[in-house]
Amino acid sequence: MQTLERAALAAAFLLCIACRGGGPAAPAAQARIVLNTDSPRPTIDVVDIPEDQLGRIYGTDAREAWNAILKISVGADPAAAVGQYAIEENRIRFTPMFPLDRGRQYHVTFTPPGGQPVSTTVGLPAADTTPTTLVTQVYPTAGVLPQNQRRFYLDFSAPMERRSALDLVHLVDGTGKDLKDAFLPLTADAWNEDRTRYTVGLDPDRGSLVTGQSYTLILDGQWLDGHGLSLKQGFRRTFTVGAPDQDPPDPKTWKIAPPAAATTDPLIVTFPEPLDHGVLIRALSVVGTNGKPLAGEAIVGPGELTWEFTPDEPWKAGAHNLATLPILEDLAGHSVGRAALVPFSVRQ
């Protein structure tokens, strides 16, 4: 008999034995335990459960019975974790009563009726505890502030914990004395909506600032961000106090540098004194030749002495207006007092 014929007969014989059940048995299916992080609250799931085992589990109600089937324990604690058991889409799902702790290991054992136990350990990765949030800026940025300076704006690179700054912000004079009474009450309501800016008001009745003296504003590095982590580093700024400012801002004294038509060069407005950053960023706008506000981006320059506006579309030649809201203030809290239009022309 030819070699190829013998090989074919042998293969057919083995196939026949397999068809009759004489071959090696296929490995029995086994359930798997997985950590499900797709839900808002992570769960521990048992998947790929054989149908006969799942059928015996349906109808289980008692907590003790569930603990015998699916037990979750924390670390070396033998007690079972508390939570809710459910069968969803042919899987068993355990939703813990309390969210799983990051960095903690959970020991899970699935013991199906009539089956072999399956055990594993699951856990969420430990949270990153490296501080990353910074104080990005403190306004005003001018080196010399008026004696009747009204407020500071503290800007952060990420949302902060919603709390007051009572023990976190300090004003220190040249002798190192902490002027604890210099500020108005530092409450949790001083945050902006996304908690990236905190406003600190100076108490005008205290007269804490003395003309000619230097002071240092200190922000404590232990200030916590929205994740409960401290700042990457604290912040210090030293400034000198000048004479009190008694006059409100006057738009007539502003210098406007008009851009050229058919460009998107910025309009630059220069002020004779620093203005309040928190109000300046939203108190000015540009009205175009059609009498409507122009869309674009505005930025405040160094020392809060300039305001620049870059339009989304090229400038059109003709008459424009710089519109000023009455809320615009200088550093001493003096407001413009009334809305104003300052005309300027865009040249060809």
Which structural domain, as residue segments, surrounds residue 151? 135-241
Q: Are residues 215 and 264 in the same domain?
A: no
Q: Tell me the three-class secondary structure of the chain, residue by residue.
A: CCHHHHHHHHHHHHHHHHHCCCCCCCCCCCCEEEEECCCCCCEEEEECCCHHHHHHHCCCCCHHHHHHHEEEEECCCCCECCEEEEEECCEEEEEECCCCCECCCEEEEECCCCCCCEEEEECECCCCCCCCCCEEEEECCCCEECCCCCEEEEEECCCECCCCCCCCEEEEECCCCECCCCECCCCHHHECCCCCEEEEEECCCCCCCCCCCEEEEEECCCCEECCCCECCCCEEEEEEECCCCCCCCCHHHCEEECCECCCCCCEEEECCCCECHHHHHHHEEEECCCCCECCEEEEECHHHCEEEEEECCCCCCEEEEEEECCCCEECCCCECCCCEEEEEEEEC
283 φ, ψ (degrees, to nearest 5): -100, -5
Q: Is the model's pLDDT at 15 over the cut of 60?
A: no
pLDDT of residue 2: 43
pTM over 0.75: no
* Terminal CA-CA length for the chain: 102
Q: Are residues 269 and 330 in the same domain?
A: yes
Choosing from 241, 272, 291, the residue where a domain stops is: 241
Domain co-membership, 225 together with 272: no
Q: Is residue 80 in some structural domain?
A: yes
Let me know whether 233 and 256 are in one domain.
no
Same domain for 115 and 140, yes or no, is no
Torsion of CA 311, 312, 314, 320, to 10 degrees: -40
In a domain, 109, yes or no: yes
Is pLDDT of 9 > 80?
no
Pair (110, 144) in one structural domain: no
Q: What is the pLDDT of residue 290?
A: 92
Mean pLDDT of 306-314: 97
What is the count of structural domains for the chain? 3
- One domain, residues 215 and 256: no
Mean pLDDT for the stretch of residues 65-70? 92
Residues 113 and 161 grouped into a single domain: no
Q: Are 219 and 181 part of one and the same domain?
A: yes
Mean pLDDT of 72-87: 86
CATH code of the domain in which 117 resides = 2.60.40
Nearest alpha carbon to residue 276 among 305, 298, 254: 305
225, 231 contact by CB (below 8 A): yes
Within a domain: 13? no
Specify if 20 maps to a domain: no
The CATH number assigned to the domain holding 297 equals 2.60.40.1220
Q: Let me know if residue 129 belongs to a domain.
A: no
Q: In angstroms, how far is CA 306 from the centroid of its own chain?
A: 30
* Mean of all residue pLDDT scores within the chain: 89
Among candidate residues 178, 209, 241, the one where a domain is terminated: 241
Q: Residue 7: is its pLDDT beyond 50?
A: no
In this prediction, residue 28 has a pLDDT band, given cuts at 50, 70 and 90, of low
Within a domain: 11: no
Among 241, 276, 310, the domain boundary falls at 241
- Establish if 130 belongs to a structural domain: no
Percent with pLDDT over 90 in the chain: 73
The residue among 83 and 75 whose pLDDT is bigger is: 83
**302 lies in some domain:** yes
User: Given a cut of 70, is residue 173 above it in pLDDT?
Assistant: yes
Question: Do 161 and 169 form a contact (C-beta atoms < 8 A)?
Answer: no
101 and 182 in one domain?
A: no
> Which CATH number is 204's domain given?
2.60.40.3710
User: For 122-144, what is each residue's pLDDT tens digit?
Assistant: 999 988 889 999 999 999 999 99
Task: Mark whether 107 and 165 lie in a shared domain.
Answer: no
Per the rule left: phi > 0, alpha: psi between -120 and 50, beta: everything else, 318 is left
Contacts for 279 with CB less than 8 Å, ≥ 6 apart: 327, 328, 329
Say if residue 14's pLDDT is above 90: no
The predicted structure's pLDDT at residue 147: 96
**Are 64 and 95 within one domain?**
yes
> In this structure, is the dihedral angle defined by the CA atoms of residues 144, 185, 276 and 244, taken in order, positive or negative?
negative
Compute the distance between CA of residue 199 and CA of residue 278 in angstroms, rounded to an integer. 9
Give which of 341, 139, 348, 145 is closest to 256, Cα–Cα. Answer: 341
